[in-house]
Amino acid sequence: MKSWVVVTENGDHGVAAHFGGQALALAQLDMLEPAPGLVIVALGLDEQGVLALCRGIRMRPEPRCYLAPIVAVDRYLPQRPELASTVDLLLESPLSSAATQTEIERVADPILHAIDGLPEVGRDANVGAKVLRYLWSRNLELVPQPSSGNVRGYVYPPVEPFFDRSDESAFQVLDFLEAEHLVRGEFVDHVHLCHFCGSAFLNFVETCPQCEGKDLERDDLVHHFPCGYMGNSREFGGDGRDKICPKCGERLRGLGTDYDKPSLVYSCRSCRHVFQEPEIATLCYNCRRPGRPEDLVERDVKRYALTALGEHSAVHGLDALFHRLLDERLHLVDMETFKLFLQVEAARIRRYKISTSTVALLELPGLQHLYARFGSRAREVFGEFASILKGVLRMTDIVASLSDTAFLILLVETPSEGAEVAMRRLREEAGRVFADEAEVAATLRTKIVPVDPEADPESCIEALLA
């Protein structure tokens, strides 16, 4: 059972009706409802339209949407290899033919079957998890393609639509997945990138070691064996045959016979300096900054395939790394246990009539962006923050996770003022650890309430979340 959605420039109903499907205009993509068996057909869109459609679909959080098979049909679509691997199927033949229908089903059915096999089909906010599920649902190996459309000089066409800024993110997320052993990278190419902006588009030019000028004259150095004279080829006159040695006046006979050209010689048109070993300078076409080859960032470009762990994580979800690291260091308790501790603490305070304990909420709303930003360093950075958190808390404090990005802490024997000092320190440290190198404002949000001896645990937690 398929649910066809035919996307055209204006939402043409006639063609959609032919399928018994829904018609949608490109501008209405956000109205798309996730449905079992969803197949998207792009009809009559140009290349930019198809790319916009892919982005609109792949950026959605619902697996039934972002994993949906996309078929682009148009007789006039240029057969670009990048476009062909961005959509699931690129068809030239008319949509109405039986052969086309069969071809669409051949490609779409295994993908839809994979989506149906996912345990809970909810929402995936983590782009790493989305890429993982996409590769798994297509049984796909990601192969980098050289491209002038991306400053890195390489793109991964099938997954580019998952990223809003395509320059860095795909590389960072693939780095992260490889560092977590979810994909296996295999060497394809080695690139040199601008160390300011990461661009692969660089000019390499010889410069004068004396004045750094680029306007150089290149000439062969000529060595005349009989008299031992060595000089610029220009000094010997003539081009080709009629070269005369300026020292002994003999006509040169043949290269390798009575003379050779041991190297190039450069003369600077700016300062007249003559030399054999020029310096090399680079100029970045993207940020226009000059540099030297030794400053360039070297990087391997790889092809990626899912590992067994990656396949498992694609189906069962990417166990949030941050959550895992906190658990390793702080031994998170589950929510039921947390509520029990809270209840016991309230009873204790009721009995001794002094309220000294506080509950705190920690939230890191920008966490998903940090995964993408830090790439393979995510483990190290999150680990550092988890250690700081451990340092601020006491052995007796109880930590539970409310979600992948929100945590509850029971600060035992800590009055509100003390808890506020601890939270301020955590916010400062989070700002330092997360914002230092990533230029993203990943803020840690905190909130505290004193443990109310008369209230039940639920209302205490509700007060925090309000």
Q: How far is the CB of 153 from Zn ion (least distance, A)?
A: 12
Applying CB under 5 A, the residues found at the interface with Zn ion are 194, 196-197, 199, 208, 210-211, 213, 224, 227, 229, 245, 247-248, 268, 270-271, 273, 284, 286-287
Nearer to Zn ion, 85 or 169 (CB): 169
Q: How far is the CB of 197 from Zn ion (least distance, A)?
A: 3
CA distance 322 to 328: 10
Q: Per residue in 41-62, is it b (16+ CB within 10 Å) or e — as a string?
A: bbbbbeeebbbbbbbbbbbbeb
- Least distance in Å: CB of 286 to Zn ion? 5
Rounded to the nearest whole angstrom, what is the least distance from the CB of residue 256 to Zn ion in the complex? 16
Of residues 119 and 249, the one with the C-beta less far from Zn ion:
249
Nearer to Zn ion, 41 or 193 (CB): 193
Name the residue nearer to Zn ion (CB basis): 53 or 284: 284
- Cα separations in angstroms, 17 against 32, 249, 455: 17, 91, 58
Q: Which is nearer to Zn ion, 11 or 229 (CB)?
A: 229
- Select 286 or 416, whichever has its Cβ closest to Zn ion: 286
Q: Which is nearer to Zn ion, 64 or 224 (CB)?
A: 224
| Closest separation in Å from C-beta 294 to Zn ion | 16
Nearer to Zn ion, 195 or 379 (CB): 195
Task: Give min distance, CB of 378 to Zn ion, in A.
Answer: 25
Q: Least distance from C-beta 257 to Zn ion, angstroms? A: 13
Distance between CA atoms of 368 and 55, rounded to whole angstroms? 18
Shortest distance, CB of residue 287 to Zn ion, whole angstroms? 3
CA distance 269 to 208: 9
Task: Look at residue 230 and give its three-state secondary structure.
Answer: strand
